[in-house]
Amino acid sequence: MSKNISELSGRKGLTKNLFEEIGTLAKETGTPSEQELSKLATEFIIGDANVYGTATFYDFLRPDNKGKKVYICNGSACLAAGTQEHVKNEVLKNFDVSEVGAMCCLGRCHENSAFNYDGKNYSGSSISSIAEIKKDKKLREDKYHVESRGTAVLTSEFSNVDAYYSLLGKILQAPAKDLLEEIKISGLRGRGGAGFPIGMKLESCRNTEGKTKFIVCNADEGDPGAYSDRYILEFQTHRLLLGMMIAGFVTGAEYGVVYIRAEYPESIHRCQAAIDEIRTKKLIGKNILGSTFNFDFKIIAAQGAYICGEETALLSSIEGQRPEVRVRPPYPTQQGLFNKPTVVNNVETLAVLPYIAEHGGKAYAATGRGRSTGTKLVCLDSSFNRPGLYEVEMGTALSVVVNDLGKGFKRKTKALHIGNPLGNLVPVDKIKDLSIDFESFAQQGFLLGHASVIGIPEDFPMIDYLEHLFEFCAHESCGKCFPCRLGSTRGFELLRKARISSYKIDEELFQDLIDTMETASLCALGGGLPLPIKNALQYFNEELSPYFTKQ
């Protein structure tokens, strides 16, 4: 990350954004030309190599994306469901192989068979109509079950814009520091996986001097199996927008950036429509509702890079730099977007803030368990009899989620991949020992993460799944630190060689590899991947032992 490039990129503010400009150049062919990138570099006073390095990093900008028309989901949920070979065969009946690419993940984990065509997502039975879809390009919306168990913080029915934003008027009449105190009392912790208290982030940003500050919504956490962000972005949009405004009010930030993954095209459109609606009603802009509070939004459409779910890589991405992880300190609240104080939080976390503002911190803290306060959105994939999105109070038994809400498994299942690609592989006999909260998972050596749940079928080879995880990490690594960049690639190569030949992996060597990734990687991509690998080696040793040898 170059602080100088951050400054140069920020000269035009959010009005003309370097990253967006690169994306615009790629719209027609799928990748920008070197000549166009050079002109852009000159305009922003940034070197050609920097701009070219950025463009060639992303899945949907790099040269080999040229001419792509349809993308097939290669996420973990679709892989485990075994649907994508059929999808690929049907797609290739209607498109040339050079026109077909891959996306991960489209958030259609509840029914799989997911693919993207003409900037729209499809799943389920849509693949049987691929010829008609190619002809009329009509969107077939997916549907999934949504239910709450206990307090409905994020899944209650939305009234209307005028009634909902009446809360904003009340908020602006009270001191910002009082609202910040309520947020701290609530105990709300980040829902993206790390569980860091949002009150501490907001307070740090508030206490950092700066004329310009930003609230950035990380809507690029593309964890396979999780579609909770997509649900909020598409169906509870105003909860997110008001949550970002609340964050801006308590920190003194006047700009909100919603960075939405390219794999969620409908989310981008609906979020922009919601922003346009509140702009028409003059609920954003200057001197909102007659106050001294100014706040406005900017949507940035991502271009396909899982690493941008890491907050500092995301900030570099918005600046038009390669999305490499930054060394901390300084933290984003001190030196973030364009080197200005910035709060970065995920969709679900920010969307909770209006509830706290309305009901108070104590009311929110009264739900949940211990330091895991409030509710959590849990996503169940197609391995369940009733897949869908469920809002449960923290502390709810995992067995209740699996058996009562999800109605059990529709196929024989040996493990649950919970959290994200860097989450845990939980054998089904451990379900009884876990509850949906940070502490329960930590005590059992697991990680709650995004609380996405993918069922691994009994007949799905575990070595195939581990190979898939290493391949995912190798593809998505930003490349800045060698433990992640090299470790993920070597792990993938070892597992594939053992799977397709008589080669045996040296167990000690493999353990050294994942230990190095865990302790020496700069961020949670390389550092988190070893967790599910270790889970598999511990709980599925009998199945995996034929592929390993001890010295």
Q: What one-character-per-residue DSSP string does 146-204 give?
A: EEEES--SSSSPP--HHHHTHHHHHHTTS-HHHHHHHHHHHT-B-TTTT--BHHHHHHH
Q: What is the average per-residue pLDDT within 70-95?
A: 96
Question: Which H or E element spans position 425?
Answer: strand 424-427
Span 332-357, mean pLDDT? 97
Please tell me the predicted confidence (pLDDT) of residue 507.
96
- The predicted-structure confidence for 404-445, as pLDDT tens digits, reads as follows 999 999 999 999 999 878 888 999 999 999 999 999 999 998
The better pLDDT of the pair 243, 192 is held by 243
Q: Please give the structure tokens belonging to residue 299.
A: 């949507």
Residue 500 has pLDDT above 80, yes or no: yes
In the three-class reduction of DSSP (H, G, I as helix; E, B as strand; rest coil), residue 313 is classed as helix
Instruction: Say yes or no to pLDDT of 467 above 80.
Output: yes
**Does residue 126 carry a pLDDT above 60?**
yes
Query: What are the tens digits of pLDDT across the range 258-290?
Result: 999 999 999 999 999 999 999 999 999 999 999
- Terminus-to-terminus CA distance in the chain, angstroms? 42
At 347 the pLDDT is 97
pLDDT for position 501: 97
Given a cut of 90, whether residue 342 has pLDDT beyond it is yes
User: Is a pLDDT exceeding 80 seen at residue 160?
Assistant: yes
Classified as helix, coil or strand, 466 is helix
Return the pLDDT at 192: 81
Residue 147: per-residue pLDDT: 97
Beta bridge partners of 426: 416
Band of the pLDDT at 141, cuts 50, 70, 90? confident
549, HSE (Cβ side, Cα atoms, 13 Å): 8
**Is the pLDDT score of 1 beyond 60?**
no
* Mean pLDDT taken over the chain: 95
State the burial class of residue 204 (Cβ atoms within 10 Å of its Cβ: 0-12, 13-18, 19+): middle
Q: What is the C-alpha separation between 274 and 280, in angstroms, rounded?
A: 10
Question: Do residues 153 and 411 make contact, with C-beta atoms less than 8 angstroms apart?
Answer: no
How confident is the model at residue 365, as a pLDDT?
Answer: 97
SS3 228: helix
pTM here is: 0.95
Nearest to 202 by CA among 249, 251, 246: 251
Is the pLDDT score of 8 beyond 90?
no
Determine the length of the chain: 551
Residue 2 in tokens? 């170059």
Where b means 16+ CB within 10 Å and e means fewer, 14-52 reads beebbbbbbbebbeeebbbeeebbeebbeebebeeebbb
Neighbours of 5 (CB within 10 A): 23
Contact 30, 68 (CB under 8 A): yes
Cα dihedral value 308, 312, 315, 321, nearest 10: -80
230 vs 241: CA distance, rounded Å: 14
For residue 72, what are its two tokens?
């097939």
Cα–Cα dist 114/106, whole Å = 7
Residue 482 belongs to what H/E stretch? helix 482-500
Determine the pLDDT at residue 449.
87
When pLDDT is averaged across residues 464-471 and rounded to a whole number, the result is 97
Determine the Cα–Cα distance for residues 201 and 331; give it in Å rounded to an integer.
10
- What percent of the chain has pLDDT above 90? 89
**Does the pLDDT value for residue 119 go beyond 80?**
yes
DSSP secondary structure code for residue 445 in this structure: T
- Hey, what are 216's tokens? 């950035």
Instruction: Return the structure tokens found at 295.
Output: 């706040």
| Residue percentage of the chain with pLDDT more than 70 | 100
What stretches of 296-346 show up as alpha helix (H) in DSSP?
A: 311-318
- Name the one residue in this structure whose structure tokens are 């849509």: 126
424 near 531, Cβ under 8 Å? yes
Residue 105 confidence (pLDDT)? 92
Of the pLDDT bands very low, low, confident and very high (cuts 50, 70, 90), residue 253 is very high
How far is Cα 263 from Cα 291, in angstroms, rounded to an integer? 38
pLDDT of 420 reads 78
Query: Above 80 in pLDDT, residue 138?
Result: no
Q: What is the Cα–Cα distance from 495 to 510, expressed in whole angstroms?
A: 10
**Contact call for residues 104 and 222 (beta carbons, < 8 A):** yes
